[in-house]
Amino acid sequence: MDETPPAGPADPDPAGPSPESSGGAGEVFRAFLQQGLTAFGGPVAHISYFRREFVERRGWLTEAAFADLLALAQFLPGPASSQLGMAIGLRRAGLAGLLAAWLGFTLPAAAAMIGLGYFAPQIDTAWADGVTHGLKIAAAAVVAQALVAMARTLAVGPIRGGMAIGATAGLTIAHGPVAQILALAAGAAFGMAFLQEPLAPEPDDPGSHTVPRAVSLSALALFVVLLGGLPFLAAALDDPTVGLASVFYRTGALVFGGGHVVLPLLQTEIVGRSWLDLDTFLGGYGAVQALPGPLFSFAGFVGAAQSVAPGGWQGGVVALLAIFAPSLLLVTGVLPFWDRLKRRPVARGAMGGVNAVVVGVLAAALWNPVLSSAIERPSDWLLAIGAFVFLAVAKLPPWLVVVGFAGMMGLFHPAVRL
């Protein structure tokens, strides 16, 4: 048998291409910028795009390596698709590749959302009210679709289903970030007790060689220091910009379940503090559904539109850096240890419990504030159901449904109110 492997990316080395043999961070940035401009459809769709691009077309990593990195992204708090992209970039070009992948994938949507947030406080017309109402109805349908999809995979069986229902009931009664953190902690505890799985087999392609151990430990230490220290620093300095960074960093560090779960956490932190009114908040959340790239780019809109810290592009950039910083640090810190950790039954059980509770977190958020603010009259229920049918049954892309409902309500909403 010929010992010489065929040339080209069709048969990559099992350990993945080394940074030296690749095009470096520039190549990674260009590849992920293309994804940031074209990857519509939300986190699940992003994962499919990444597999097609980086496993099938470019051959940057094997199927096994891709599955391992996807498991890591789902295990960590934060945006799963963005973290998967960071891990792919790190595998391809080291730490510079990680940053390049994040920047390329995030930049298009982030720039659009900061621009929208910058002008949002200046827009005050009947047409804009209609567009906002349409965005909120479409956002309700998008959240409902995400809830159904997550429940089918994360809340299967009586134990997981019961945990999801219990979290929904508890968070419908008790609001706030403390209640959400306690619910997630309870989910992890129940998962360790009741959802432990057999030891997972050794993967054939761990791919954790690109981060030195000292760098990983430093990243994990910095993650903990910022999570615990930013609130105290903001209080000591009485600086609204540091306070803004603290809120978004804490949100990025505690969001399990993907981009949609950022909605209840940020709504509690931002709208609950009267930094931004609920209509503008939900309007921006609806608008981000019409864009490619990560849903966490919504932070750019909130940072630019909020009224406490300096807004505009400065506030948008601060919010974006703060909400993505935990993911950048966690991917850097955990990747070298992930292969051993994810095989442990206790860790797998804890993650199963957290994922089940995440379904309840999203269900509670669907009711309040999403539906409670989007439904203004009985006919809005029909519109929300129609938007859900377009998404879940007709399989229309979310951006098309969002744009369609925003435009329709922008045209007809003022007349309906008369």
Contacts of residues 231-240 at CB distance under 8 Å and 24 or more positions apart, as own/partner, are: 240/308, 240/309, 240/310
How many CA atoms does the CB half-sphere of 330 hold within 13 Å? 26
- The sign one gets for the Cα dihedral 127, 129, 130, 135 is positive
Residue 347's pLDDT is: 79
The answer to the question of residue 153 being in a domain is yes
Q: Express each pLDDT in 105-125 by its tens digit.
A: 999 999 999 988 877 655 545
79 vs 293: CA distance, rounded Å: 11
Containing domain of residue 109, as a range?
A: 102-196+212-417
Helices (H), ranges, 120-239: 126-154, 158-173, 177-194, 213-237
> What percent of the chain is predicted at pLDDT more than 90?
26
User: Within a domain: residue 51?
Assistant: no
Q: What one-character DSSP code corresponds to residue 270? A: I
9 pLDDT more than 80: no
Chain position carrying tokens 């299967």: 156
Residue 7 within any structural domain of the chain: no
**CA distance linking residue 28 with residue 17, whole number of Å:** 12
Reported pTM:
0.70
Summarised one tens digit per residue, pLDDT across range 239-296 is 889 999 999 999 899 887 566 667 777 888 888 788 888 888 888 887 887 788 888 8
The per-type count for the chain, helices as H runs and strands as E runs, is 17, 0
Instruction: Give the orientation angle of helix 126-154 with respect to helix 398-417, to 10 degrees.
Output: 140
The whole-angstrom separation of Cα 161 and Cα 359 is 9
Residues whose CB is less than 8 angstroms from the CB of residue 30 and which lie 6 or more positions away in sequence, other chains included: 104
**What is the number of domains present in the chain?**
1
For 51-157, where are the alpha helices, taking DSSP H only? 63-75, 80-119, 126-154
What contacts 330, CB < 8 A, 6 or more positions away?
76, 77, 78, 83, 219, 220, 223
In a domain, 70, yes or no: no
Residue 329 binned pLDDT confidence (cut-offs 50, 70, 90): very high
Is pLDDT of 11 > 50?
no
Residue 376 has pLDDT above 90, yes or no: no
Identify residue 287 by its one-letter amino acid code. Answer: A
63-75 and 80-119 helices, crossing angle to 10°: 60
- Read off the tokens for 61: 């990593």
Residue 78 falls inside a structural domain = no
The listed range with the strongest mean pLDDT (54-58, 179-183, 334-338, 379-383) is: 379-383
In a domain, 4, yes or no: no
Within a domain: 83: no
The answer to the question of residue 73 being in a domain is no
Q: Which helix (H) or strand (E) holds 356?
A: helix 345-365
Q: How far apart are CA 363 and CA 179, in angstroms?
A: 14
